[in-house]
Amino acid sequence: NAPRAHYSRRKGNPKVLFMGLRRSGKSSIQKVVFQKLSPADTLFLESTTRIETASMQSFVTFESAEVPSQLSAIAPDFDHRAAFSSAGAVIWILDVQDEFLTSISEMIQTAVFLAENYPRVNFEVFIHKTDGLSDEYKNETFREVRQRVQDELSDLGHGDRSVSYFQTSIFDHSVFEAMSKVVQKLLPQLPAMEALLNKLCSTCRIQKAYLFDTVSKIYVATDASPTFLKDYEVCSDYVDVIVDIKQIYGWHSQEGDGKAASETSQEDGGIGESMVTYDNSGDTYIYAREINDYLSLICVMGKGSSTAKRVLIDYNVSILHDALLQVFRV
Amino acid sequence: MERNKRQRQRKVLLMGRSGAGKSSMRSIIFSNYVAKDVRRLGATVDVEHSNIKFMGNLMLNLWDCGGQDSFVESYLTNQRSHVFGSVAVMIFVFDISSKEVESDMHSFAMTIRALHEHSMNSKIFVLVHKMDLVPPEQKATVFQQRAVDVRSTCVDEGFAEQQVEFWATSIWDQSLYKAWTQVVYFLVPNATAIEGMLRRLADLLDARELILYERTTCLVVTHITRESEGQNPYTDRFERISSILKTHKHSMAKHTGTMTSEVSFAEMQIKTGDFMFFIVSFTENTNLAVVMPGDEAAFNAARVNVQLARREFNHLDIVEPSGKEAQRQQ
Ligand SMILES: Nc1nc2c(ncn2[C@@H]2O[C@H](COP(=O)(O)OP(=O)(O)OP(=O)(O)O)[C@@H](O)[C@H]2O)c(=O)[nH]1
Ligand SMILES: Nc1nc2c(ncn2[C@@H]2O[C@H](COP(=O)(O)OP(=O)(O)O)[C@@H](O)[C@H]2O)c(=O)[nH]1
Ligand SMILES: [Mg+2]
């Protein structure tokens, strides 16, 4: 992957561009991830004819844009400066359920164009609509696409260009996990957040810790232990439970002046609305804590981490909490 | 004892034309399927009987009647009294996306004619299903129109208006839980006794809301709402909570690699400055969700008091007082 030094140099908000052929799923991904559209409702989406942007307010503002399929990056009338100069990443969406050779050749043209003109823009490939495919077929196609792209880029003299590949579907967690990894590379705060999470995990024997953007369920950082989709899934689902229950029973403050109150207390560095949640099912136990209005820490506690250690965890999490707020202050 | 048992059985017919979605909803509510897995179900051949234990002692005797025309023909002729005799509830499912409206209505009319002949006091729940396929702006009118047509058919066949209820459903959202909650509430024989006891508990705890739900299905059995919570703008919160908890169960099952039916959490807590919420397993077949004001001391007292109240509630699964003995002998 791209070297770390990249991150801090980029100015402005993290911005991703979705590109790909017609009906490949660009609008669906943008709307499901950034605008909370339910995946089933994407059936009613119409074809996109103009650049469509979306943004999501979090601890930073995430921006995204869909480039309509008829606009080719290399076409002379395309204002590529406006599109690419502020972008952090271009995500190429490839529909695996469709004939994908055309998509690959357009993808190569775009990747080469970017490598030559905007080398600092990350290039990411979503091998999309993997729902309903057998694991075997899915993995085989994944390897095939990756091999082809890599071969062609080498032939064109861009073999050193780093491209990341993801298998995605809007009907499960995969598209969120992939977006998480894409977005993380655009955050200058990442190394600091990772260091804090590593510290927390080793002090409290936490199996896996994620820092979530609460609204989108993109995780903006995790500790250095191996990442498994299933850990992300359970934590992400848990964020849903908390958000839903908070919405249902938090209406007292949503209506009154509670919002203002939580904002002021945050400025003092205190916890606006603290939340501790745990759940116990077999050996797994999940702990969640709100960091601020946008970020939540969700931890999977492994075997043998008894609830008796809650005091230790609470204490260390509040230290992490304060440190994170410092990270975002600068 | 034998006689008691039989009284607690309630026969529920699940009918509708082939492909209407009967087996799908049954699998989601009672067999822990997730919505996207139902595509794997085969067509129902003849009648699939299932005895579903609900709240321990209420036995739902569910007849999922295959909707292919040849089966329907046989229910209406040689199996007529067998199928339509002593029915407590008939649930009839209409596929709103079906193109054969006239023949759907005809099949419905024949069915309720037979029902009226053999179980004239039964209750009819009409589910207008697959509403997700109707564009949002047309949902209300499409549903109303179908309800009007179906109600007049029922009245023509001799049913009173209040014997028939209509619900718009889709397996893709909580509307399915809403409809089935009504069915179950209608069938639980001791609902008012349970409510009385819960109200006393709610007063004791000074809780904002208590929700008692059945553990395997996550269907809400009943709830107590106190004071200002009565103004909670989220009037769909009970079915939303069913759906949230069911999803959470699937999520935990997936993570821990166990069967969804085996997942049971010891406790879930969500604490905010505004409200505090916890769910604990309550009686053998139920969980209890408690919503308290945002006060740590009251929250801790409530947790203790709920534990103490469990004993008193343990016989709530039993239909008649004399059933207590039966339970002890099992
Ligand atoms: N099975 C499946 N279908 C998907 C997925 N993502 C999107 N789709 C469907 O693909 C179709 C096209 O999606 P859009 O998001 O409109 O595609 P687009 O790339 O924006 O298309 P244009 O705007 O025409 O370029 C829709 O019917 C979506 O429901 C997925 O992950 N799996
Ligand atoms: N869009 C949509 N499809 C549904 C819904 N419920 C069921 N289906 C689909 O309808 C088809 C038939 O369902 P099934 O339960 O087998 O019908 P049955 O013959 O009545 O038992 C399946 O392909 C389901 O995936 C729904 O709410 N919305
Ligand atoms: Mg589009």
Q: Give domain A190-329's CATH architecture.
A: 2-Layer Sandwich (3.30)
Q: Which uninterrupted H or E stretch holds B123?
A: strand B123-129
Q: Which of B268, B269, B279 to probe by mutation at the A interface, max A CB count within 10 Å?
A: B268
Whether A6-184 and A190-329 share one fold: the answer is no
Set of chain B residues whose Cβ sits within 8 Å of the Cβ of A279: 252, 265, 267-268
C-beta B18 within 6 A of ligand 2? yes
Give yes or no for a contact between B88 and B187, defined as CB atoms under 8 angstroms apart. Answer: yes
Residue A237: which of B241, B251, B273 has the nearest Cβ?
A: B251
Token pair, residue A156, equals 């064109």
Separation of CA A301 from chain center: 23
pLDDT of residue B324: 39
CA-nearest of B131, B132, B135 to B147 is B131
The answer regarding whether domain A6-184 maps to CATH 3.20.20.10 reads no
pLDDT of residue B321: 40
Q: Are residues B136 and B261 in the same domain?
A: no
Q: Closest Cα of chain A to B290: distance in Å?
A: 11
Position A267 pLDDT exceeds 70 = no
Give yes or no for a contact between B47 and B66, defined as CB atoms under 8 angstroms apart. Answer: yes
The A residues from 128 to 147 touching B (CB cutoff 8 Å) are: 131
C-beta A174 within 6 A of ligand 1? no
* CA B175 to centroid of ligand 2, rounded, Å: 15
- Collapse the DSSP code of B219 into the 3-class scheme (helix H, G, I; strand E, B; otherwise coil) and give the result: coil
Q: List the CATH number of the domain containing B229.
A: 3.30.450.190
A98-133: per-residue pLDDT in tens?
888 999 999 999 999 999 999 999 999 999 999 988
Q: Do A279 and B291 touch (CB under 8 A)?
A: no
* CA B65 to centroid of ligand 2, rounded, Å: 14
Q: Are residues B135 and B159 in the same domain?
A: yes
Q: Do A245 and B244 touch (CB under 8 A)?
A: yes
A15-61: per-residue pLDDT in tens?
999 999 999 999 999 999 998 898 988 988 889 888 888 888 888 88
Residue type present at position B198? L
Set of chain B residues whose Cβ sits within 8 Å of the Cβ of A274: 271-273
- What residues form DSSP beta bridges with B14? B64, B91
Residue A281: which of B173, B233, B263 has the nearest Cβ?
A: B263
Residue A233: which of B208, B255, B291 has the nearest Cβ?
A: B255
Ligand 2, from B13, B17, B23, B24: best to mutate by most atoms within 8 Å of Cβ?
B24
B285-300: per-residue pLDDT in tens?
888 999 999 888 999 9
CA torsion, ordered A234, A240, A246, A248, to nearest 10 deg = -130
Q: Do B254 and A230 touch (CB under 8 A)?
A: yes
B165, B187, B209 - which closes a domain:
B187
A208-233: per-residue pLDDT in tens?
999 999 888 999 999 999 988 889 99
B307 inside 8 A of chain A by CB = no
Q: Are residues B135 and B162 in the same domain?
A: yes
Query: Cβ neighbours of residue B65 under 8 Å, at least 6 residues apart?
Result: B13, B14, B15, B22, B44, B46, B47, B71, B72, B75, B83
**Residue nearest atom 1 of ligand 2, based on CA coordinates:** B130
B187, B213, B239 - which closes a domain:
B187
Range with the poorest average pLDDT among A9-18, A67-76, A302-311, B273-282: A302-311
Q: Which ligand 2 atom lies nearest to the CA of residue B35?
A: 25
The domain in which residue B144 lies consists of 2-187
ipTM of the complex: 0.76
Tokens 């207390």 sit at which residue? A265
pLDDT of residue A272: 45
CB pairs under 8 A between A and B: 101
Q: What's the helix, strand, coil split of chain B in %, to 5?
A: 50, 25, 30
- For the beta carbon of residue B240, count every other beta carbon within 10 angstroms: 19
C-beta B14 within 6 A of ligand 2? no
Q: Are residues B211 and B63 in the same domain?
A: no
For chain A, which residues make up each domain, given as ranges?
A: 6-184, 190-329
Position A64 pLDDT exceeds 90 = yes
- Collapse the DSSP code of B125 into the 3-class scheme (helix H, G, I; strand E, B; otherwise coil) and give the result: strand
A124-170: per-residue pLDDT in tens?
999 999 998 899 999 999 999 999 999 999 999 888 888 999 999 99
Q: Are residues B145 and B273 in the same domain?
A: no
Residue B178: exposure state from Cβ atoms within 10 A (0-12, 13-18, ≥19): buried
Give yes or no for a contact between A39 and A131, defined as CB atoms under 8 angstroms apart. Answer: no
A274 inside 8 A of chain B by CB = yes
C-beta B39 within 6 A of ligand 2? yes
Position A72 pLDDT exceeds 80 = no
What's chain A look like in SS3? Answer: CCCCCHHHHCCCCCEEEEEECCCCCHHHHHHHHHHCCCHHHHHHCCCCCCCEEEEEECCCEEEEEECCCCCCCCCCCCCHHHHHCCCCEEEEEEECCCCCHHHHHHHHHHHHHHHHHCCCCEEEEEEECCCCCCHHHHHHHHHHHHHHHHHHHHHCCCCCCCEEEEEECCCCCHHHHHHHHHHHCCCCCHHHHHHHHHHHHHHHCEEEEEEEECCCCCEEEECCCCCCHHHHHHHHHHHHHHHHHHHHHCHHHHHCCHHHHHHHHHHCCCCCCCCCEEEEECCEEEEEEECCCCEEEEEEECCCCCHHHHHHHHHHHHHHHHHHHHHHHC
Q: How many domains does chain B have?
A: 2
Q: Closest Cα of chain B to A289: distance in Å?
A: 10
Q: Name the residues around ion ligand 3, CB cutoff 5 A.
A: A 26-27, 48
Token pair, residue A97, equals 């359920």
- Collapse the DSSP code of B16 into the 3-class scheme (helix H, G, I; strand E, B; otherwise coil) and give the result: strand
CA-nearest of A219, A212, A232 to A289 is A212
Q: Do B232 and A258 touch (CB under 8 A)?
A: no
B53-96: per-residue pLDDT in tens?
766 667 777 778 766 777 777 778 888 888 888 889 999 999 99
B179-204: per-residue pLDDT in tens?
998 888 888 877 788 889 899 999 99
Give yes or no for a contact between B289 and B267, defined as CB atoms under 8 angstroms apart. Answer: no
Q: Are residues B255 and B280 in the same domain?
A: yes
Ligand 1, from A41, A44, A45: best to mutate by most atoms within 8 Å of Cβ?
A45
Phi, psi (5° rounding) for residue B109? -60, -45
Percent of chain A with pLDDT over 70: 85
Higher pLDDT, B32 or B178: B178
Q: Do B268 and A278 touch (CB under 8 A)?
A: yes
Q: Do A234 and B252 touch (CB under 8 A)?
A: yes
Give yes or no for a contact between B272 and B185, defined as CB atoms under 8 angstroms apart. Answer: no
Q: Do A251 and B233 touch (CB under 8 A)?
A: yes
Higher pLDDT, B62 or B136: B136
- Collapse the DSSP code of B286 into the 3-class scheme (helix H, G, I; strand E, B; otherwise coil) and give the result: strand
Q: Are residues B196 and B137 in the same domain?
A: no
CA torsion, ordered A315, A318, A320, A325, to nearest 10 deg = -170
